[in-house]
Amino acid sequence: MDMGEARDRGLVLLGCGKMGSAMLSGWLDGGLPAQSVWVIDPYPSDWLKGRGVHLNEKMPSDPAIVLIAVKPQMMAEALPQISEYGGGRTLFVSVAAGTTIDSYERILGKAAPVVRAMPNTPAAIGRGITAITGNARTDERHMALAEALLSAVGQVVRLEGEHQMDAVTAVSGSGPAYVFHLIEALAAAGEAEGLPADLALRLSRATVAGAGALAEAAEEDPGQLRVNVTSPGGTTAAALDILMDERRGFPALLKDAVHAAAERGRELGK
């Protein structure tokens, strides 16, 4: 199974909100013909209407892939539309948060290959990272195809199994919100030190974005990058004495925050 098969047999996108739109844009830019894509969405955007895809039309009889990108609360209504494809020839890839593989197997059947994926919001600008795991019916061809599809919006990593998905959700899925809050808090701290609010926000946004890009591009690990910019007895060291405090600094705070997110994910998945 490869993208050629998706071109020939068709790809169904169930739900086309922000994440679905980002992926569709990546596929089309990558050369997948619009006429090979069927999109089912009750409230299509103007952008989607202009893509040339089959929009809310009769679906193909034997699609290579169905990608599920509907909101969890819409799942019960949406899944019966694709249950006929559960015989084993169609790969199902889900980017819907919180819905377990077992939930899909109950509706699609045990013969259906299912890949569950957890992307994050930087996918909207092609800078996401997505973790994937498959059920017992997936093989290397299925996993490679899922990687190819999801790489349209950023990096892709494979998990050992679905048991790691709640931790991934807590780190990379929810993680962008932690970074956005860091920008907010850093700007507020700058304002408290006498900077105008707009300047403090501009400095904070650019600093966090630039440091993240440097961390991704540099050969050194983040710990070494931190050491590189920390002169003994200097201003950065004074701040890090507080931020790296074992009781009230980043390490303890983030460990508690990520644990709380993971635990909530486990509760919602029951």
168 is in an annotated binding site: no
Structure tokens at 47: 């952008």
What is the rounded end-to-end Cα distance, in angstroms, of the chain? 33
* Residues whose CB falls within 8 Å of the CB of residue 243, separated by 6 or more in sequence, listed in order: 249, 250
- Give the single-character DSSP code of 73: G
Cα dihedral 215, 220, 226, 232 sign: negative
26 is in an annotated binding site: no
135 is in an annotated binding site: no
The whole-angstrom distance between residue 151's C-alpha and the CA centroid of its chain comes to 11
- Do residues 18 and 124 lie in contact, with contact meaning Cβ atoms separated by under 8 Å? yes
63 is in an annotated binding site: no
243 is in an annotated binding site: no
69 is in an annotated binding site: yes
Using the CB atoms, write b or e for 50-76: b if 16+ within 10 Å.
Answer: ebebbbeeebbeebbbbbbbbeeeebe
16 is in an annotated binding site: yes
64 is in an annotated binding site: no
Quote the crossing angle between the two packed helices 175-192 and 197-217, to the nearest 10°: 140
255 is in an annotated binding site: no
Residue list for the binding site = 14-19, 56, 69-72
Residue list for the binding site for NADP(+) = 14-19, 69-72
Residue list for the binding site for NADPH = 56
